[in-house]
Copies of this chain bind each other. A is one copy, B any other.
Amino acid sequence: MQSTLRDTNADLAPLGVMHLRYIEMFQAILQAGTLTDAASLLNISQPAATKLLKQAERRLGFPLFVRLKGQWHLTPEGRLLQGQMERIFEELRDLQRLVSNIARADKYPLRAISTPTLANAIVPKSLARLRQTLGQTSIELSTQHSPEMLKSIILREADVGITLQELSHPDIRCEHLCEGPLVLIAPKDTWSRTAAVQPISIDSLANSTLLGITRADQLGRQLQAYLEQLDPPARISTWVQTYQIAKDIVCSGEGLALVDPFTAVSAGAELQTRVVEPIMNINLYAVYRAEGPLNSVQKAFVQSVKTIATELIGFLRNRERRLHSVQ
């Protein structure tokens, strides 16, 4: 019926109809710069790309690109569509992620995600402990910085996130697990045995060589502001993205750094740690979708992280207390 109708006026192809493929093509050309490369981005041959573009322009009723001196340039019409196209493309990619994560959700009772820092500190300990009780259940762990973590959880790439940053989103619950003091780390043998277990005043960092953490989160900014107002300000010549990297550099003797207590305490014997005074608290959070309850594995994981984190913090505090009781 429809096909016969189409047969009668054969050349009257559906006009002005947008296809997903066209959007992909559009994006690919913009990204690749050449049709041939765009084709390989889409995993198709170059003639296919040519046909696709031609067809798109024929169907839409106007050209999207013009070719000048071997370059593809957007026509004004193309430029008009660009914004909308990009948005749809993005949303579609999100949808794709969501779909594929739903499909494999049941295979993994726990897909954990943490910031890189914590992935090196407490999370593995926690997973190791869980593993003993779980046998061969499949578990995933990935790392993302906080903003991406949020998206991953919403798109169901992960179920539970562990982070130092409080995340706020309507569909997300952010559970506070524990808190601990900001600590200063240094290569071993920097301080004497007795000094090493005492708090250190943040003011005494004036004029010392610190590693800076280039974090955009609230704690990072707060710290930076604080350090800058010291007199003289602490000299910061090396900037790193995460506490963990800072730790590694400190280990190799390049300076001191202010880090979260979890990174510090998991460092072991290679470096010394001192709580900074006045105490600035760092919080640890578990983040998950508010929509449904956690399953038993996920609950156990959160609980286990909480326990381990608390133990680690306790270790830091106890060290001090031991000292105080000696005094």
Bound complex: CA A43 to CA B156 (Å): 34
Contact present for A99 and B2 (CB under 8 Å): no
This protein's copies in its complex: 2
A99-B18 in contact given A2-B43, A43-B2 (Cβ < 8 Å): yes
Contact present for A95 and B18 (CB under 8 Å): yes
A94-B84 in contact given A2-B43, A19-B20, A20-B19 (Cβ < 8 Å): yes
CB-defined interface of A15-54 with B at 8 Å, one 1/0 digit per residue? 1111110000000000000000000000110000000000
User: What residues of B have a CB within 8 angstroms of the CB of A279 in the complex?
Assistant: none
- In the assembled complex, A318 has its CB within 8 A of some CB on chain B: no
Min C-beta distance of A213 to chain B, whole Å: 35
Bound complex: CA A60 to CA B2 (Å): 28
Contact present for B98 and A80 (CB under 8 Å): yes
Contact present for A91 and B98 (CB under 8 Å): no
- In the assembled complex, A128 has its CB within 8 A of some CB on chain B: no
User: What residues of B have a CB within 8 angstroms of the CB of A44 in the complex?
Assistant: 2
Q: Which of B60, B62, B91, B156 contacts A87 (CB 8 A)?
A: B91
Q: Which of B17, B62, B95, B99 contacts A102 (CB 8 A)?
A: B62
Assign chain A's interface to a size class.
20 to 34
Closest B residue to A84 using CB positions: B95
- In the assembled complex, A81 has its CB within 8 A of some CB on chain B: yes
A102-B80 in contact given A18-B96, A96-B17, A96-B18 (Cβ < 8 Å): yes
- In the assembled complex, A323 has its CB within 8 A of some CB on chain B: no
- In the assembled complex, A231 has its CB within 8 A of some CB on chain B: no
Closest B residue to A93 using CB positions: B18
Q: Which of B88, B94, B103 contacts A91 (CB 8 A)?
A: B88
Bound complex: CA A22 to CA B98 (Å): 15
- In the assembled complex, A297 has its CB within 8 A of some CB on chain B: no
Closest B residue to A104 using CB positions: B61
Q: Which of B60, B85, B95 contacts A103 (CB 8 A)?
A: B60
- In the assembled complex, A230 has its CB within 8 A of some CB on chain B: no
Q: Which of B17, B62, B91 contacts A84 (CB 8 A)?
A: B91
Bound complex: CA A102 to CA B60 (Å): 9
- In the assembled complex, A77 has its CB within 8 A of some CB on chain B: yes
Bound complex: CA A98 to CA B88 (Å): 14
A95-B88 in contact given A20-B20, A43-B2 (Cβ < 8 Å): yes
Contact present for A92 and B18 (CB under 8 Å): yes
14 contacts between A and B (CB under 8 A): A15-B100, A16-B96, A17-B96, A18-B96, A18-B99, A61-B99, A61-B103, A80-B98, A80-B102, A80-B156, A81-B98, A84-B94, A85-B95, A88-B88
Contact surface of A with B, Cβ cutoff 8 Å: 2, 15-20, 43-44, 60-62, 77, 80-81, 84-85, 87-88, 91-92, 94-96, 98-100, 102-104, 156
Per CB-CB distance, the 8 closest pairs between chain A and chain B, nearest first, are A61-B103, A16-B100, A20-B20, A84-B95, A88-B91, A77-B102, A18-B96, A16-B99
- Given contacts A81-B102, A84-B95, list 7 more A-B pairs with CB under 8 A: A15-B100, A61-B102, A80-B98, A81-B95, A81-B99, A85-B95, A87-B91
